[in-house]
Chains A and B, each alone.
Chain A
Amino acid sequence: MESALLSGLQGLFLGIANLGLGHVIMILIALLLLYLGIKKGYEPLLLVPIGFGAILVNIPLADMMGKEGFLRFFYDAGVLTEVFPLLIFIGIGAMTDFQPLLENPKIILLGAAGQFGIFLTLLLALALGFEKLDAVAVAIIGACDGPTAIYVSSKFAPHMLGAVSVAAYSYMSLVPLIQPPIMRALTTDRERKIVMGVVKQPVSKTTKILFPIVVTIVASILAPKGAPLIGTVMLGNLMKESGVVERLKSAAENEIANIVTLFLGLCIGATMEADKFLRAQTLLVLALGFIAISLDTAVGVLFGKLMCLLTGGKINPLIGAAGISAFPMSARVVQTEGQKYNKKNYLLMHAMSANAGGQIGSVIAAAVMLSVLQGMGIVGGG
């Protein structure tokens, strides 16, 4: 009886006995993520489940990511299969209005320049000694697009999913702090004051409906490995623009997106086990993620300067900073910065065009990357 009592009591203290310093640090990091999400409002829809998932997976002996663990089930079903980010893409497509881009299509090129940070960061990551596919996963933080980063890193470097996702979502929410100094450093006072006229080119409903279909067919044929990314975004957008499947569109942007966001967040948190996350490499991933988004902004602004030059000063280079996928946050940053130098300058609609271009650009950049990797024989042709 006495030994049974003792054994029983020992069972109660096994958790404490197995609690290591790594677990404690990770729980503190998880609490920080929860604080940022709840108190500061930084991407709360993702940071709250990520933070909570990180707590759960760092409870000693709870075995949440073990073979039959509760979080393992969702991870295997939704992340390893890449289904979760794709389902979120349908919701994003259903929520996105490409009208500003359709009104002013040449601005879409800023959405391409805004992705160059991905490829420049890839070179940096390789220089720092990352393995090829690990470098791809780090570089994709520069897409400034959470689901794209999750899709690519879960495909090529699932062991880095936690660090890549946390970096991607953290920096996306910090865009209003990261971008302005770069925008100011790369533009002159005269450039920042350029007033862009109102573009009045209304778009027909037929064009809006055909746009997602054409993009899917053309972009997927050019970059077939990216068809799941492109196809899901454009399916969502077709449901929105067609106006005939209101229930499906509503489900995609509400119920499906909400449920998947919850489980995706938990799964990302579940990859943040102490022994996998607390490495020097994680700090490098966070640093490279910051560099990637900074480079996106810099190249976007520089491309804006080039467009300004080619159009005889009709384009304000500041809108180049909006060529990233952080929608509509980046466009708002451009509007705010523009008004600091010219109170009568309304850059918002132009920046929204660039921002919508950045949304498509991030998906296309990932698609191109996947197809080039396939062409080089680095990944299999599925």
Chain B
Amino acid sequence: MDTWTFGWTLALIGMAGTMLVLWILSLLILLLKKIFPYQPEDSTAKKG
């Protein structure tokens, strides 16, 4: 594989891939927050 094919492939997939993975994570955070919403008693949870 020539240098520029390597460079552009890694750069484009790298940027798009990083953005995609973090976007998926942001959706998963929203999902977690929906399934396990904050309840006031959380703040007085027992210490481990």
Q: Which residues of A contact B (CB under 8 A)?
A: 101-102, 105-106, 108-109, 111-113, 115-116, 118-120, 122-123, 126, 132, 135-136, 201-207, 210-211, 214-215, 218-219, 222-223, 242-246, 357, 360-361, 364-365, 367-369, 371-373, 376, 378
Q: Beyond A126-B3, A136-B10, A373-B10, list 9 extra A-B contacts (CB 8 Å).
A: A113-B19, A123-B8, A219-B25, A222-B21, A360-B22, A367-B21, A368-B21, A372-B9, A376-B1
Chain B residues with CB under 8 A of A223: 17, 21
B10 and A214: CB pair below 8 A? Answer: no
Assembly CA distance A218 to B32 (angstroms)? 13
Kindly provide the distance from the CB of A315 to the nearest chain B CB, expressed in whole angstroms. Answer: 15
B3 and A365: CB pair below 8 A? Answer: no
Chain A residues with CB under 8 A of B13: 368, 372
B4, B19, B23, B37 — which one has the most chain A CB atoms within 10 A of its CB? Answer: B19
Shortest Cβ distance from B40 into A: residue? A202
Chain B residues with CB under 8 A of A361: 18, 22
Q: Give which listed residue, B1, B22, B33, B42, contacts A201 with CB less than 8 A.
A: B33
Kindly provide the distance from the CB of A43 to the nearest chain B CB, expressed in whole angstroms. Answer: 25
Chain A residues with CB under 8 A of B25: 105, 108, 214-215, 218-219, 360, 364
Given known A-B contacts A115-B18, A126-B6, A242-B48, A214 and B28 have beta carbons under 8 A apart: yes
A218 and B28: CB pair below 8 A? Answer: yes
Given known A-B contacts A132-B3, A204-B36, A116 and B9 have beta carbons under 8 A apart: no
Assembly CA distance A133 to B42 (angstroms)? 48
Assembly CA distance A373 to B10 (angstroms)? 7
Chain A residues with CB under 8 A of B8: 123
Assembly CA distance A106 to B26 (angstroms)? 6
Chain A residues with CB under 8 A of B21: 112, 218-219, 222-223, 364, 367-368
Kindly provide the distance from the CB of B34 to the nearest chain A CB, expressed in whole angstroms. Answer: 10
Chain B residues with CB under 8 A of A364: 18, 21-22, 25
Q: Which residues of B contact A (CB under 8 A)?
A: 1, 3-4, 6-15, 17-30, 32-33, 36-39, 42-43, 45, 47-48
Given known A-B contacts A102-B29, A123-B8, A210-B36, A109 and B23 have beta carbons under 8 A apart: yes
Kindly provide the distance from the CB of B21 to the nearest chain A CB, expressed in whole angstroms. Answer: 5
B6 and A376: CB pair below 8 A? Answer: yes
B17 and A126: CB pair below 8 A? Answer: no
Assembly CA distance A100 to B38 (angstroms)? 14
B11 and A119: CB pair below 8 A? Answer: yes
Kindly provide the distance from the CB of A357 to the nearest chain B CB, expressed in whole angstroms. Answer: 7
Supply 29 A–B pairs (Cβ within 8 Å), ascending by A.
A101-B29, A105-B30, A108-B25, A108-B29, A112-B18, A112-B19, A112-B23, A119-B12, A122-B10, A122-B14, A132-B6, A202-B42, A204-B36, A207-B32, A210-B36, A218-B28, A219-B21, A219-B25, A222-B17, A222-B21, A222-B24, A223-B21, A245-B48, A360-B22, A361-B18, A368-B17, A368-B18, A372-B13, A376-B9
Q: Give which listed residue, B17, B24, B32, B38, contacts A210 with CB less than 8 A.
A: B32
Q: Give which listed residue, A106, A203, A218, A371, contacts B38 with CB less than 8 A.
A: A203
Assembly CA distance A215 to B29 (angstroms)? 9
Given known A-B contacts A204-B39, A368-B21, A119 and B29 have beta carbons under 8 A apart: no
A122 and B7: CB pair below 8 A? Answer: yes
Assembly CA distance A115 to B3 (angstroms)? 22
